[in-house]
Chains A and B, each alone.
Chain A
Amino acid sequence: MTTFVFRNHTVEAFFGYDGVTYSGYDDISSVPGDVDRYIWFFQVPVNADSAQLVQEIDSYCDQLDLVIASVNENKPFIVFSLENLFPLRLTGNETSVSESVNRFNHHVIELAKSHQNIKWVDFSEFTSRYNAETLVNWKYYLMSQTLLNPKLAHDFHAWWQQINSQLDLQRKKCLVLDLDNTLWGGVLGEDGIDGIKLGGDYPGNAFFYWQRSLLQLAKNGVILAICSKNNENDVIQAWQLNPNMVLKREHFAAVRINWNDKATNLSELADELNIGLDSMVFVDDNPTERELIKQMLPQVEVPDFPEKPYQLMPFFKQLTERFFRIYAVTNEDLVKTRQYQENAMRHAERSQFADLESYLYSLDIAIDVIPVDEHRVPRVAQMTQKTNQFNLTTRRYTESDVRQLMEQGWHLFCMNESDRFGDNGVTGTIFLEPLDDVTVNIDTLLLSCRILGKGVEDAFVKTVLNLLRLDGYRHVKAQYLPTAKNMQTADFYDRLGMTCVKISPDGVKDYEMDLKQVFEIKNCYNIRVL
């Protein structure tokens, strides 16, 4: 692998010469294309004139932007955070330099969020081990422009190697946890709900901190799952009744609480979550179980579990750094992971219920039917542009089109849907064109596919038609225009109870219906009209 290093000081002692080439100092004029990756390693120059220094540091942002714009976006670009190795603060309240350093670092973190190839390395992890006198060796700096003390080269190599292995590592997706003596101290089946050690004094507080930290991991997109030999009812009760329980049923995307062997359970979990075994990390206090997984499912990562509860937090740190550290996760990834996790939870729920209706009840679905106002025009127009699958007519409208339709007196509604696993936002819309005082035509009806499978589309349309009936409309017309992608909606209006009055050779279907009575809507939806 070949590397090109952008730098403003001598750094050869730290990155070596093997396959590494260097820019001139502060020189971004030439960006070689024939290397495998880039490193940006600038250090704050030593300058007692803080105003000048701030100006210089601020210019690094622009330089970095220029370089990034000119490199191949598929090549890794590693940016070191800027650290002030030898801060000169002539007055106690002088903060302008550290502020500009922060500005640069913040800029890099933002870049890393929007560019998948940019990875941010927190150099302070290394520098914070030393004081300023150790970090900068003035003799060597003045002889060679090597600002970072060359005597730290050995330490740096070790640290850099560790960072590199983390950069290369595929981030794992799912953490599978045991319960007894893993998420709490003691054995639930023997010690009882109040007998297990969780919260309070040591060792209960160790497990409490551990659970709280795991919860944060889940909030950062890591999927949590359980694989435990226990009586499921005991666990459900513990979740409900133990006041110190941080991690409850809703935080786990999937659970296997039974007496089957854990290898079978883990394989099932991978299937259910639709992830590979190589995306899983298995944490269990029992060495026998760990050994079983290592033998049977070598793709799964199985770290050793700490002997003592007070080692749980260092273990958590290790676990995060080794498997779940986020170097360049975009906001979009984060949202995706969350929605994906929510879907897995919904899926897991469904398999528990015998019939769909009681499943729907358990989801606490809330539907807000909202007349489209100026504020929602962009989202509604965007949905008409992007939605392909559940879209009856696939008519595309721009924002100004939508505004025009509103001015012409069309009835436009959108829908915000949420359930107990999360808020899905504005995910459906319907456009109705009044043909005369009593007749309305459904010009557009669409729903985002991520909310399908819950009967929401039915409830939404019926609610809107009930509203129009109150307005005095008595007839409704609609069309289905087939496309390559919207087959699943071909019978939607038939299912709604409309009459198909015409089918054209090209598959276009025309529907009509009288609005004689109010549509009944299942009670499992909590509907609000805003």
Chain B
Amino acid sequence: MNLEEKVLEIMREAFETQDVSPSSSQRNCERWDSLRHLTLASELEEAFDIELEPEEIATMTDFSRVIEMLQSKL
């Protein structure tokens, strides 16, 4: 499974919906609210064994920024 697919999988679980795609963002995805955003961050930390700083978490507002952030960490 490549990075994108893995992140989508984690997003589906964190947001409790199948309705996620590479174009998902906090703006266009109703389920991606501030609380679930933290669930996503926490799940990503666990899945990739990384630490995300609060400032970094704040910038991951859409799918492509999440991927960028992860690529910079891995």
Let me know if A144 and B16 touch, CB within 8 A: no
What residues of B have a CB within 8 angstroms of the CB of A18 in the complex?
16
In the assembled complex, the CB of A156 is this many whole angstroms from the nearest CB of chain B, namely: 13
The answer, among B16, B45, B57, for a CB contact under 8 Å with A143, is: B57
Q: Is A146 touching B16 in the complex (CB atoms < 8 A)?
A: no
A140 near B42: Cβ-Cβ < 8 Å: yes
- B46 near A: Cβ within 8 Å? yes
Interface flag for B34 (CB, 8 Å): yes
Residues of B within 8 A of A406 (CB): none
Please measure, in the bound complex, the distance between the C-alpha atom of A137 and the C-alpha atom of B57, giving whole angstroms: 15
User: How distant is the Cα of A190 from the Cα of B46 in the complex, in angstroms?
Assistant: 59
Q: How far is the CB of A316 from chain B (nearest CB, A)?
A: 36
Q: Is the CB of B42 within 8 A of A17?
A: no
Interface string of B46-72 (1 = CB under 8 A from A): 100000011001000000000000000
**What are the residues of chain A within 8 A of B34 when measuring CB–CB?**
144
Cβ contact within 8 Å between B54 and A13: no
> Could you name 11 residue pairs across A and B whose Cβ atoms are closer than 8 Å?
A10-B35, A12-B35, A13-B39, A17-B16, A140-B38, A140-B42, A143-B57, A144-B38, A151-B42, A151-B45, A151-B46
Q: Which residues of B contact A16 (CB under 8 A)?
A: 16
Given A16-B16, A151-B42: A139 touches B54 (CB 8 Å cut-off)? yes
Taking beta carbons and an 8 Å cutoff, which residues of A are in contact with B?
10, 12-13, 16-18, 137, 139-140, 142-144, 146, 150-151, 153
A142, B54: Cβ atoms closer than 8 Å: yes
Q: Please indicate the chain A residues that have their CB under 8 angstroms from the CB of B38 in the complex.
A: 13, 140, 143-144, 146, 150
CA distance A12 to B42 in the complex (A): 14
Which of A10, A137, A150 lies at the interface centre, i.e. has the most chain B CB atoms within 10 A of its CB? A150
Looking across the interface, which residue of chain A has its beta carbon closest to that of B45?
A: A151
**Which partner residue on chain A sits nearest B57 by CB separation?**
A143
CB distance from B15 to the nearest CB of A (A): 10
**Cα distance, A285 to B34, chains bound together (Å):** 55
**Which residue of chain A is the closest to B14 with respect to CB atoms?**
A13
Smallest Cβ-Cβ distance to A154: which chain B residue: B46
B54→A144 contact, CB < 8 A: no
Contacts of B57 in A (CB 8 A): 143
**Sample of 19 further A-B pairs with CB below 8 A, known A150-B38, A151-B42:** A10-B35, A12-B35, A13-B38, A13-B39, A13-B42, A16-B16, A18-B16, A137-B42, A139-B54, A142-B54, A143-B38, A143-B54, A143-B57, A144-B35, A146-B38, A150-B39, A150-B42, A151-B45, A151-B46
- The distance in angstroms between the C-alpha atoms of A218 and B54, with both chains bound, is 55
- Counting from the closest, the 4 A-B pairs by CB-CB distance are A150-B42, A144-B38, A12-B35, A151-B42
What's the minimum C-beta distance from A111 to chain B, rounded to whole angstroms?
31
- Select A13's contact among B35, B46, B53, beta carbons within 8 Å: B35
Q: How far is the CA of A140 from the CA of B40 in the complex (A)?
A: 12
| Nearest-Cβ distance from residue A496 to partner chain B, whole angstroms | 76
Complex: how many Å from CA A443 to CA B17?
A: 77
Residues in B12-51 with C-beta less than 8 Å from chain A? 16, 34-35, 38-39, 42, 45-46
Please give the distance in Å from B23's CB to the nearest CB on chain A: 23
Q: Tell me the bound Cα distance from A140 to B45 in angstroms.
A: 12
Instruction: Give the chain A neighbours of B46 by CB distance below 8 A.
Output: 151
Chain B: CB-nearest residue to A16: B16
**Quick one: closest A residue to B42, CB to CB?**
A150
Interfacial chain A residues near B39, Cβ < 8 Å: 13, 150, 153
Interface-centre pick from B34, B42, B45, B54 (highest chain A CB count, 10 A): B42
Residues of A within 8 A of B53 (CB): 139
Which residue of chain B has the shortest Cβ distance to A152 in the bound complex?
B42
On chain B, the residues within 8 Å of A137 by CB distance are: 42
Nearest CB in chain B: distance from A21 CB, A: 14
Report the minimum CB–CB distance from A362 to chain B (whole Å). 65
Residues of A within 8 A of B54 (CB): 139, 142-143
Across-interface contacts of B35 in A (CB, < 8 A): 10, 12-13, 144
- Closest residue of chain A to B38, judged by CB? A144
CA distance A18 to B35 in the complex (A): 15
